[in-house]
Structure formats: structure tokens, C-alpha cells
Amino acid sequence: MAFRDRMRADANAAREYATLKRVLAARFGADRLNYTEAKTEFIERILAEEPGPPH
């Protein structure tokens, strides 16, 4: 839920995540395992950052 809350609170991060998901979907297609694993670094980085001001 923390990640979802950050995406709702930070429009820039949400746009970055949406772009990442599109790129990864194109790269991995139906390979859900690698698609999911490829998102991990982004998710961990967002969760480790201090929340910025609301957008």
C-alpha cells in the first residue's frame, strides 16, 4: 500500500512508472516473471525516497 500511496501523491513518479511499465511490456511481452522483476528496482527506489511535496 505504501507504493500505491506514493504513486497517488507524486505525479512525476507515477508518470515515470507508467512509462517504465510500457517499455517493459514491450520488451517482455507475456513474460510476466521478468516483467515483474524488472520493475523491482524502480519500486524499491521509490519506497526508499522521502516523499516530496504533493503535486
11-48 residue pLDDT tens: 999 999 999 999 999 999 999 999 999 999 999 999 99
Domain-wise residue ranges, the chain: 2-48
What pLDDT sits at residue 3? Answer: 93
Q: What pTM was estimated for this model as a whole? A: 0.81
Which is more confident, 11 or 54?
11
Residue-wise burial string across 13-40, b where 16 or more C-beta atoms lie within 10 A, e elsewhere: beeebeeeeeebeeeeeeeeeeeeebee
What pLDDT sits at residue 4? Answer: 93
Q: Which amino acid is present at 41?
A: E
What pLDDT sits at residue 53? Answer: 60
